[in-house]
């Protein structure tokens, strides 16, 4: 399998607010190192081509992209120290449409959580991650049955105009849009990360050309808390094209795989022409910030079951924070999807 990867991910390592403490993000550059080590012997590593900013602009707000590109430089010029991080957000009683002039105000408007900040290398790494997603998608458009994008930073929490959850540009949405641009009648984005991909849902919530199907922790107990309920099924043209499977903490593979079956059946009913998999392996039993109990063997089964959908497939890395096991679990999924 072709694996698209880019060393520029390492220029990004953000700070997050974990409880009441500022810590180096759980989303660390070491994640890619462990995955590359696990995949090196069995897969073909490929550098991504140049990024197509037009596709990115078709799923993200122009003002947001301008903010993200220049945020760190503006932060420094304003005399601020450390990473770009908000301390005020437009809540329900405020005017969320107002765009403040100050960088402090704008970072609150364009983010939704303090688990995610912007450092000097964030824009470069996010663009490289988007280029990985685009190149993996191009490979599938050009005839590969499947391609894997080793994306870092991940993307599924990034909405049209907000970053959070370690995500800045929505790689899965970019890939789905690229597949549509190439002629797919409909694309399914299947999100198997422990956390709901609120950003992907947001981008396609009023559209019928993308089915978003997600299996994730119940938002009544887990991040992102305000999205991912089963009642969220889309609006307008998108009504019925959003499918959420929230599951309780402690969920094992039997319950999880039943939810997967429902998602794949929904994709089959939708007659999708291509599949994008948001591959989070933070469903692993030893993940330090998640609470499902899947094992390495379960990832093999998961990959095989998704491959049985027999669709051109782009697989993109999302979460997974048991860092030393991350490569093993990703390799297990890819082995199940495409046995050597």
Please report the domains of the chain, with CATH numbers, ordered by start residue: 2-14+25-51+123-337 (3.40.800.20)
* Location of structure tokens 């887990």: 222
With a cut of 80, say whether residue 268 has pLDDT above it. Answer: yes
List 157, 196, 216, 291, catalytic entry: 157
Q: Is 318 helix (H, G, I), strand (E, B) or coil?
A: coil
**Which of 168, 182, 236 has its CA nearest to residue 204?**
236
pLDDT one-digit tens code per residue, 309-331:
999 999 999 999 999 999 999 99
With a cut of 90, say whether residue 19 has pLDDT above it. Answer: no
With a cut of 80, say whether residue 340 has pLDDT above it. Answer: no
pLDDT band at 20 (very low <50, low <70, confident <90, very high): confident
Q: In the chain, what's the furthest Cα-to-Cα distance?
A: 56
The residues facing 24 across adjacent strands are 15
With a cut of 90, say whether residue 297 has pLDDT above it. Answer: yes
**Which of 261, 265, 259, 247 has its CA nearest to residue 304?**
261
Instruction: Respond yes or no: is residue 156 known to be catalytic.
Output: no
User: What is the rounded CA–CA span in Å between residue 131 and residue 122?
Assistant: 14
pLDDT one-digit tens code per residue, 50-100:
999 999 999 999 999 999 999 999 999 999 999 999 999 999 999 988 899
Instruction: Give the global pTM.
Output: 0.97
């Amino acid at each position: 399998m072709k694996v698209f990867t880019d060393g520029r991910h390492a220029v990004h390592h953000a700070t997050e607010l974990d409880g009441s403490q500022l810590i180096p993000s759980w989303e660390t550059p070491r994640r890619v190192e462990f995955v590359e080590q696990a995949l090196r012997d069995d897969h073909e590593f490929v550098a991504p081509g140049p990024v197509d900013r037009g596709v990115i602009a078709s799923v993200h707000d122009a003002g947001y992209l301008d903010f993200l590109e220049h945020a760190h430089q503006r932060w420094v010029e304003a005399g601020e120290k450390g990473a770009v991080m908000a301390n005020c957000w437009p809540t329900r009683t405020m005017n969320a449409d107002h765009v403040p002039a100050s960088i402090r105000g704008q970072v609150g408007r364009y983010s939704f959580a303090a688990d995610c900040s912007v450092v000097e290398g964030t824009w470069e790494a996010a663009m490289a991650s988007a280029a990985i997603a685009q190149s993996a998608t191009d490979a599938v458009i050009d005839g590969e049955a499947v391609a894997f994008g080793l994306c870092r930073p991940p993307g599924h929490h990034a909405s049209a105009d907000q970053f959070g959850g370690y995500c800045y540009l929505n790689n899965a949405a970019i890939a789905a849009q690229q597949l549509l641009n190439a002629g797919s009648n409909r694309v399914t984005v299947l999100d198997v990360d422990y956390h709901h991909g609120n950003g992907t849902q947001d981008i396609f919530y009023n559209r019928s050309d993308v089915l978003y199907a997600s299996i994730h922790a119940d938002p009544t107990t887990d991040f992102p808390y305000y999205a991912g309920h089963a009642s969220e099924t889309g609006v307008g043209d998108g009504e019925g094209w959003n499918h959420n499977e929230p599951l309780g903490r402690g969920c094992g593979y039997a319950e999880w795989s039943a939810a997967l079956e429902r998602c794949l059946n929904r994709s089959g009913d939708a007659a999708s022409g291509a599949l994008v998999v948001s591959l989070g392996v933070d469903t692993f039993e030893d993940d330090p910030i998640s609470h499902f109990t899947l094992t390495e063997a379960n990832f093999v089964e998961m990959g095989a079951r998704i491959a049985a959908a027999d669709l051109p497939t782009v697989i993109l890395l999302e979460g997974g924070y048991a860092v030393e096991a991350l490569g093993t679990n990703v390799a297990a999924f890819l082995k199940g999807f495409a046995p050597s």
